[in-house]
Amino acid sequence: MQSTYAKIIKEVCKEENIELLSFSYDWVFMMQKGDKLRYILAYQFDLNTAAIQAICKDKCAAYDILSYHNIPCVEHSIFMSSASGFSPKGGNYKSLYKLLEEYGKLVCKPNEGASGTDVYAVATGAELEFAVDTIFKTAQSMAVSPYYEIEKEFRVILLDGEVKLVFSKEIPFVKGDGHSTIVKLMADNNCGVLSFELNTLNLDLGRTPQKDEVVKLGWKHNLAHGAVPQVVTDSLIISDLSKLALNAADVLNIRFASVDIAFIDNAYKILEINSGVMMEHFASSSAVNYEKAKKIYGEAIKLMFA
């Protein structure tokens, strides 16, 4: 089936009289208008430089640059697999256990991963070793961060120094009625157990929450893992998030990006910057959001031919 994203690209090109060819099942788009030829690869548009795309993909590299410029961001430490040829002679575990002892709980993920795939919250040595073994089966580098209780997570979409969209990523939850168990509340609200990271939360699904008690059904704010996008309308929140995101875009010299920002301990911190602007789940969530995403992608495509 055609993705929402591919449908948007094709609609924009038709409306702008841009000749469009797709390759590799819509993984690559080739666009031509007059004598200008432009490309989109996956969610990477012909606007950012190759170096900036690579830096944003590398979570630890992006953290190094942002922290150097004193931009608040979540710490990321890099660990290389033995297969990469760049791991330390003494191995990784001594340093990893030191971090685990220091913070009590860590988040381990592929350094160049996306969509919350193979992201683990670990609090014990066994959990840490499982995460490391799993990640290094498919990735040569791993990013490790302290685990934070994130109250809210936001995504800011930027294009040429302007904020085009701000939305939050809301983790699914159920609210207690005083007599139903968590699993009954999930069933009543059509919440699929396998869609969420319930094991990580150590939820007792047979527990009966108190009336109006909110029970979160996950810890990852990824839209691909069930989080729901909500457009932010509070002007003060938009202002604070925009300032932080624009500062990050400025030091990275990036034109088109999405910036993920977490609200932690009453402060905003950047989680990561994506040079590939993914609004697939956002656009699919409603007709209004589809048009918002289409407008932004349309502006980006027109800039490619400007």
Do 186 and 281 lie in one domain? The reply is: no
Do 107 and 193 lie in one domain? The reply is: no
259 lies in which domain range?
Answer: 49-73+150-171+221-306
Do 131 and 182 lie in one domain? The reply is: no
Beta partners for 32? 19, 37
* pLDDT number for residue 143: 97
Nearest CA to 102 out of 80, 123, 79, 132 is that of 123
Check if the beta carbon of residue 112 is closer than 8 Å to that of residue 56. Answer: no
Per-residue pLDDT of the chain (306 residues; tens, 9 = 90+): 579 999 999 999 999 999 999 999 999 999 999 999 999 999 999 999 999 999 999 999 999 999 999 999 999 999 999 888 888 888 899 999 999 999 999 999 999 987 778 899 999 999 999 999 999 999 999 999 999 989 899 999 999 999 999 999 987 777 888 888 877 877 777 665 444 455 555 677 778 878 887 777 766 666 666 678 899 999 999 999 999 999 999 999 999 999 999 999 999 999 999 999 999 999 999 999 999 999 999 999 999 999
Q: Which of 160, 190, 218 is the last residue of a domain?
A: 218
Do 205 and 232 lie in one domain? The reply is: no
* pLDDT number for residue 176: 82
The number of distinct structural domains making up the chain is 3
* pLDDT number for residue 202: 64
* pLDDT number for residue 200: 52
Query: What length is written for the chain?
Result: 306
What is d(CA 290, CA 299) in angstroms, rounded to the nearest whole number?
Answer: 14
Do 240 and 295 lie in one domain? The reply is: yes
Do 159 and 234 lie in one domain? The reply is: yes
In a domain, 297, yes or no: yes
- Total-model pTM: 0.87
* pLDDT number for residue 192: 53
> At 137, which amino acid appears?
K
* pLDDT number for residue 244: 98
What is d(CA 68, CA 64) in angstroms, rounded to the nearest whole number?
Answer: 6
Check which CATH number belongs to the domain holding 130 and give it: 3.30.1490.20
Check which CATH number belongs to the domain holding 238 and give it: 3.30.470.20
In a domain, 273, yes or no: yes
Do 213 and 232 lie in one domain? The reply is: no
Do 127 and 271 lie in one domain? The reply is: no
Do 124 and 273 lie in one domain? The reply is: no
